[in-house]
Every structure is written in structure tokens, then in C-alpha cells.
Amino acid sequence: MKRIGVFVCHCGLNIAETVDIKKVVEVISKHPSVAHVVDYTYMCSDPGQDMIKKAIVEKKLDGVIVAACSPTLHEITFRNAVASAGLNPYQFENANIREQCSWVHKDKKTATEKAIEIIKSMIEKLKLNQSLTAINIPITKKALVIGGGISGMQAALDIANSGYEVVLVEKTSSIGGRMSQLSETFPTLDCASCILTPKTVEVGHHPNIKLLTYSEVEGVEGYIGNFKVKIRRKSAFVDWDKCTGCGLCSEKCPTKVPSEFERYMGPRKAIYIPFPQAVPKKPIIDSENCIYFKTGKCRLCEKQCPTGAIDYDQKEKFIEENVGVIIVATGYDLLSKENVGEYGYGKYKDVIDGLQFERLLSASGPTSGEIKRPSDGKIPKEVVFVQCVGSRDPEHGMPYCSKFCCMYTAKHALLYKHAVHDGQVYVFYIDIRSGGKGYEEFVQRAIENEKILYLRGKVSRIFQDDRDDGKLIVWGVDTLTGKKIEIAADMVVLAMAAVPNVGVKELAKKLKISTDAHGFITEAHPKLRPLETLTAGIYLTGCAQGPKDIPETVAQASGAAARAITILSKPELELDPLIAAVDEEICTGCGVCVEVCAYKARELNEITKIAEVNEALCVGCGACISACPSNASIHKNFTKKQILRMIEEVI
């Protein structure tokens, strides 16, 4: 029989005011399993903890109950105290007589009785507690980062600079992501390439970063500390080891197609490096448009290549990597044009989206930084910007705010005015959301200094007027004056809603992480665990989680990297043993537990036909235990027998 010590805490007056501590001590001390009872004003204080430690040794206790606050507060405190006195920490139980007793009752007599019952039932549980040891899991000291935009790069650099290896997988042929398409960045108007290039170069050269561009994650197995990742390296049809990035192949290639990087406003070749500062600076062949792949003739690039790097027979490769943690940084795309028929986006060449305008502003863009409209190359003198296109519009877009459009529209308007002094800018907005350091000042500066006309209201239709030089007629409303507005514009820029990148849903399925209704990856807790997914060891950052601007993305990336490093830096992963276990004698291998487990911690062993528990993934939620029809699934130190004894004690 166990020698149990019970320590009753007053918690100042929090407990003592409603619970008669003296009475509790008196009753509990008569309990046959209790060898020692004592009360104290603050059990969690150092003297309080010392009382426990001393009693364990002096009274030869082999079980400890602290009747105090909720275990979410001090369970770990007391467990550590018990362990330091040499007792197994799982021979400690926390009886909650504060939140579930003194705080919710007024009548001292009934509260006292309840406190006694709570303690007694906890004694019954403790009597059957096993001594457990923490579960240790080895950790592969390597991280996988999916997505090579600013978010993925920052996370990869932080981890790599902490001394751990990183595999960075990017689906396009070069890193930099959306940021590499931007011209200048708000609110300081830094040139995006100038601040981005040092980072892309650092990633490209970092000894701890293995960069796999033009690659995609094909499959993921395993669990925290021990992921096995299969990566598909798509065929570029160019041997990148031989290629020097000289660009002769692209120069001579006869095929021109609209460039994805230039948002289809400028051409690229069928063999191409997307932009001059690309890292790695290696070309790929677009086999859908390459003459050789279509007709079997040409091979001009092969003839031009001084190093013989062109390889039309190159096959895709599969690479396997073992990693301990994964960071998802898959970024965003803009809502497709099908959703906004009334604005003629996709029909009229001079109705463009925000990223297209970035390319028009960019010194390395299709117009070399001169603002020329796509239809005829004229400099537009009247430009209308429309905010919230598809954002905050549940009817035929997205209900959420895309967050960075207010700022980039103000930036666009300002940069346009810097370039075209006699131009007129109109901005249609619902609200101006400029929360952020220096953001509001930036917007005000644009409005006041550059005389940009902000009109509060939505645009109902944009159409081309055939009578007047093909001007775009914009119909809108100014809700502050209540007037309908018609503007004959030369160009219209739509701030389209930001949506998750293509393929994120499929990736999420492979990673066994969840996405929200719109396809953004769900965080474990919106406030307290915003950098983690619900799957242990997988973290998220950047626009994969929701639209956000560069400063926020970079901050989140460093946060996610820090979370990942807390795992990588441990010698072994130590996990709480209070999880599910299987009685192998009873288990029939029906597999119900596998179906109900939300954490993918239960698995049917094909050979033994027994449902096993993956101790690294199990969180001890108990779903499988209540679902198990044969009582083979048990919860360690929370068995059905213990629960029944606790109930018997109370009723």
C-alpha cells in the first residue's frame, strides 16, 4: 500500500476563504492511505515546495497530492519538486480545489465537503498510478523549408546560421518569390531587388543550405524529429552542373512566349532564366513551347552552348531527405480574373493587376521602369486604382482582407506620380487600412504631397469607350458625397485579393496539415501558437498562413525558424509519457482507433495485426481509448479502472 502525502494549499484567501482548511486536513488525515497531511498558505512558493521535498524523504512517501489550483498552472512545478526529492514525477497528482471548488462556491460547508471529495477521489487515482519515464526520441538535425520566397529564405538562413543543415525546396527555377517581382517596397521605398539580392545570394552560397529549385515535395512520411521526405526534381533539360549561366542559349532561342515573371507583359524565350538576378542563374527549357520538343527540329541552344550542358533527354529525379522539422512557406497568388467579369480584367489590356503594375514600375521590367500601358505603349495620364477587388467581397470573391493592398496601392499611386508628374490618380477604397510602423504617415504623404484623389466607394463596372480613344470608363460611387462617378481612364490597376498559391492544398494533404476554407494553412492556435501547425514538427510562415506584408513575413519567418531550432537544438526529444498504450493481449486489430485518431498516431501493424501507438505523435487526447470496443486501448495513468475508482469515491 502506498504512503501518500497530501499538501493542502490556502492560496492566500483564494481557497482558505471558502474552504475550511482545518476541517479538510482533519478528515483527510484519517484516510487509510494517507501517511502525512499538512497545509500551507502558498504551496507553490519555495518554502512550500521544500515542505513537500522534505516530507517525501522524512516520511518515506511514495505518492504526493497537492490540493491547490488547476494543473495547467502548477502541475509541472510540483512534478519537478517531487522528482528532485527522488520520487517518480508521475507519482504526483494535482487536486484542483480552487477553480473547480473555492472559486465557484459561496457556501463554506458545501465547498469544504467538495474539496474533501476531490482530494479523496484523487487519492484513488494516485493509488493505481504507475511510475513512468519520459519518452525520448532521436532528432534528425536537419530542416526542410518548402518555398523559396522571402519567408522561406529568411527561415532557411536563420536555421542555417544557427549551425543546422537546411534543405530548401522551391518549385520554380529560382528563389526570391513574389518579392523579386516587386519594384520598390513601402513605406521606405527601398528597391526590392536591392534588399532581396543579398539574401538570395547568401542562400545560394550558404554551406548549410542545400538549395533544390525547380523541385517539389512529392511525399512525406514519419513524424517530428524523423521526417522522410521525397522530393521531385523536375527536368530542366539543362545539366546545371555544366551550365555557367552565360545566357547564350536564351539569346539565340527563336521562340518567344509571354513571361510568367513579367506577368505576361513581356516576352521570354523557350529556354530561359526568369530574370537577370536569378539565383541559381541557370536556365530551364519550357518543353511545351520549345520547337525541338514540338517538331523534333531546331536544337539551336545545344549548338550555342559552350559547355554542352543542354540535355534534351534529362529525366526528372527523385531525392530522399531525412529531416527533423519542416517549415511551410508556400506564399500567395492573386485571385484569377474569372472572378471579376465586371471589371474587364483579362478582356481589356489596360486593366491590370497590382503585380503587373509592379513590373511596369520595375527598372528591369518589360518597359524598363517607364510607365507605359500594355495596349499601345502610351504613357497613361489618368490612372484609376481599385482596392479590395475580390477581397472583403464574399459574394464573388473572398470574405477576408488581403492586408497589403491598401499600402501597395498608396505606393503605386505615389511612384506613378513620381514618374508622371502631370498624371492624375484616383484610388477607390472601402477603408484605408494602414496599421504598421510608418504606414499611416506614408499614405497621408501620398494623399497630401502627391494630390492623389482617394474616393471612398466601390467600382461597379469598367468598360472600353469606343468613341474616345479607347478610354476605359470607370463607373463608381463616392459614398462620402453620395455621387455617382464616371472617370475616363487610360489605365486601371486592380488590387486583386491574395489567395494561397496553386497546389498548396495537395501539399497540405501530403504533410497531413490542415487548410482553412480558403486554402490558407491553419495554425495550431490563432493567438498562442501562430507559427505551428497541428502536426508536431511542422511550422508555417508567410502568406501560406494568410496575406501579410514583407516586414511581418520576415518576422514570422524568424519566429518559425526559432520554433524549429528549439526542436533541432535538443539532444533528444523528451515527450510526456501520459499517452495512449495498447494491451496487446486484448487488441483485435479492428482499426477503429486508427480512424478516430486526429494526430495520425495510431497505426495497424500489418504483421502482428495489433494497433500500435506512435509515441512521438500521440498527444494523449483519449479519442482512441473511448472508441476502442475491446478496452485494449488504455491511457497511461488514466485507466478505466482508475476513473471508476474515482467516481466510486465521489458518489
Partner 1 sequence: MELCYYPGCTLKTTAKNFEAPAIASMGSLGHKMVELPRWNCCGTVHSLADDDLMHQLASVRTLIRVLETGADKVVTLCAMCYNTLKQTNRIMLEDTEKRDRINNFMDEEKDYSGNVSVLHLLEFLRDEVGFDEIKDKVKRPLDGLKLSPYYGCLLLRPEGIGIDDIEAPRVMEDLIEALGGEAVESPFKIECCGSYHTVDDIEPVVERAKMIIDASGTRGAEAIVVGCPLCFFNLDYRQRDVKARYKEFNFIPIFYFTQLLAIALGLDENICDFGEHFVDPRPVLLNKNLVLGG
Chain positions contacting partner 1, by CB under 8 A: 340-342, 347, 395-396, 461, 463-464, 466-467, 473
381/461 with CB nearer partner 1: 461
366/476 with CB nearer partner 1: 476
Rounded least distance, CB 518 to partner 1, Å:
19
Cβ neighbours for 532, distance < 8 A, ≥ 6 positions apart: 523, 524, 525, 538, 539, 540, 563
177/397 with CB nearer partner 1: 397
Sign, CA dihedral 181-185-191-197, equals negative
Count of C-beta atoms within a 10 Å radius of residue 527: 6
- Pairing type for strands 459-464 and 572-575 reads unpaired
Count of C-beta atoms within a 10 Å radius of residue 321: 18
Rounded least distance, CB 120 to partner 1, Å:
52
420/473 with CB nearer partner 1: 473
Which is nearest to 95 in space by CA: 113, 121, 73? Answer: 121
Strand ranges of the sheet holding 215-223, from the earlier edge strand across to the other edge: 215-223, 226-233, 317-323
395/448 with CB nearer partner 1: 395
Rounded least distance, CB 458 to partner 1, Å:
14
Rounded least distance, CB 441 to partner 1, Å:
37
| Cα atoms in the Cβ-side hemisphere of radius 13 Å centred on 425 | 26
347/640 with CB nearer partner 1: 347
In this structure, the dihedral spanned by the alpha carbons of residues 387, 390, 395 and 399, taken in order and rounded to 10 degrees, is: -90
68/459 with CB nearer partner 1: 459
CA 20 to chain centre: 49
313/395 with CB nearer partner 1: 395
Q: What distance in Å separates the CA atoms of residue 442 and residue 457, rounded to the nearest whole number?
A: 21
* Cβ–Cβ < 8 Å for 309, 240: yes
Which set of grid coordinates corresponds to residue 123? 487519492
Which is nearest to 633 in space by CA: 579, 563, 565? Answer: 579
66/496 with CB nearer partner 1: 496
CA 570 to chain centre: 22
Which set of grid coordinates corresponds to residue 624? 482512441
Which set of grid coordinates corresponds to residue 241? 552542373
Q: What distance in Å separates the CA atoms of residue 216 and residue 431, rounded to the nearest whole number?
A: 39
Cβ neighbours for 503, distance < 8 A, ≥ 6 positions apart: 171, 216, 330
Q: What distance in Å separates the CA atoms of residue 115 and residue 102, rounded to the nearest whole number?
A: 8
Rounded least distance, CB 346 to partner 1, Å:
9
Q: What distance in Å separates the CA atoms of residue 556 and residue 184, rounded to the nearest whole number?
A: 21
Which is nearest to 428 in space by CA: 493, 481, 352? Answer: 493
SS3 629: coil
DSSP E strands, 242-311: 256-258, 267-269, 271-272, 284-285
Rounded least distance, CB 431 to partner 1, Å:
24
* Cβ–Cβ < 8 Å for 539, 545: no
264/463 with CB nearer partner 1: 463
Rounded least distance, CB 459 to partner 1, Å:
12
Q: What distance in Å separates the CA atoms of residue 624 and residue 592, rounded to the nearest whole number?
A: 7
Rounded least distance, CB 379 to partner 1, Å:
25
297/467 with CB nearer partner 1: 467
Which set of grid coordinates corresponds to residue 475? 463607373
Rounded least distance, CB 399 to partner 1, Å:
15
Rounded least distance, CB 424 to partner 1, Å:
22
488/598 with CB nearer partner 1: 488
Rounded least distance, CB 382 to partner 1, Å:
18
Rounded least distance, CB 393 to partner 1, Å:
12
In our burial notation (b when 16+ CB lie closer than 10 A, e otherwise), range 543-556 reads bbbbbbbbebbbeb
Which is nearest to 153 in space by CA: 161, 408, 514? Answer: 161
353/532 with CB nearer partner 1: 353
The DSSP H or E segment spanning 649 is helix 640-650
Rounded least distance, CB 466 to partner 1, Å:
5
Rounded least distance, CB 468 to partner 1, Å:
10
395/585 with CB nearer partner 1: 395
